[in-house]
Amino acid sequence: MAHPRHQRRPHRPGPLSMVLGGIGELLITSGLVIALFLVWQLWWTGIAAHEKAQAVKEQFTQTQVDSPKVAGTKHTDAPPAFTQVDYGQAIGMLIVPKWYGVTNNNMPVIEGTGEDVLDQAAAGHYTDTQQVGEVGNFAIAAHRRTNGNSFRRIDLLEPGDEVVVATQDTWYVYTVENYEIVEPHQVEVLSPVPDDPDAQPTERYLTMTTCHSLSMGEWGNDHRWIVHAKFSYWMPRSEGRPDSVLNDPEVN
């Protein structure tokens, strides 16, 4: 047996070690909280948003005129006027053929751009811009990240790509012209003539807006990705469908 005076005393951490240990535990806890928050933001909000979008889609498609799966005639005259709906009501469905198989290419278009609208994995119509098919600028917004990632692959759109709005009785078809990246205060992109707020419109435009960055390190709203398209043609749903959506199983 060792002599008592030769026995080692239990080691007690000093004040510095205790402080560093406490900081380490706080960092671990903070990391877990952040990780759970990101899972909720990126995954769970998407599931909930898509469920809401599906409910809107199912309800709206029940009101649509049946459209035979044949190529319809392209009408290039003035399209039918669309009657404005109330905030939160469906205008139609936004179909982006370029996104088929990549991301959601068939989503509700709802009046308004509040979070309650955009969080439904929907595209929201800026209420102070023109109606779909109207002379001027039919401008819409959607999330690029979280709550359905509706405009996640807006970067895939190129000049010549079609963007379709399907209302209850009409296909409105626009063709992409260009894109730009702007700061949030540059609201002239929503003008009746995009980027020219003093001009009087003579043509029909569609503008899509969303956040610029997909990077987790740049998750802020420091810039906007803007796509401009110009009206090409329309057709009654009763006559058939645009070629670009003819064989798309997601489109009613």
Q: What's the pLDDT at 35?
A: 41
The CATH number of the domain holding residue 236 is: 2.40.260.10
Look at residue 21 in the predicted model and tell me its pLDDT: 56
Q: Are 144 and 225 in contact (CB under 8 A)?
A: yes
Exposure class string for 86-123: b at 16+ Cβ within 10 A, else e: eeeebbbbbbbbbbbeebbbbbbbbbbbeeebbbbbbb
pLDDT tens track for 103-129 = 888 999 999 999 999 999 999 999 999
Domain assignment of residue 73, yes or no = yes
- The domain tally of the chain equals 1
Determine, yes or no, domain membership for 26: no
What pLDDT does residue 211 have?
87
162 belongs to the catalytic site: no
Domain-embedded: residue 4? no
The label of the residue with tokens 């026995």 reads 7
Domain carrying residue 97:
46-245
| Amino acid 183: pLDDT | 93
171 occurs within a structural domain: yes
Is residue 123 included in any domain, yes or no? yes
Handedness of CA 59, 207, 83, 120 (dihedral sign): positive
Query: Both ends of the chain: CA-CA distance in Å?
Result: 88
Q: Partners of 194 in the beta sheet? A: none
Instruction: Name residue 227's beta-bridge partners.
Output: 179, 208
Low-confidence stretches of the chain (pLDDT < 50) are 1-2, 4, 29-43, 216-219
Please report whether residue 202 resides in a domain.
yes
DSSP three-state, residue 10: coil
Instruction: Tell me, yes or no, whether 212 lies in a domain.
Output: yes
Of 200, 57, 182, residue with least CA distance to 130:
200
Q: Global pTM?
A: 0.81
pLDDT of residue 52: 86
Out of 190, 211, 235, 251, which one is annotated catalytic?
A: 211
Residue 53 lies in a domain: yes
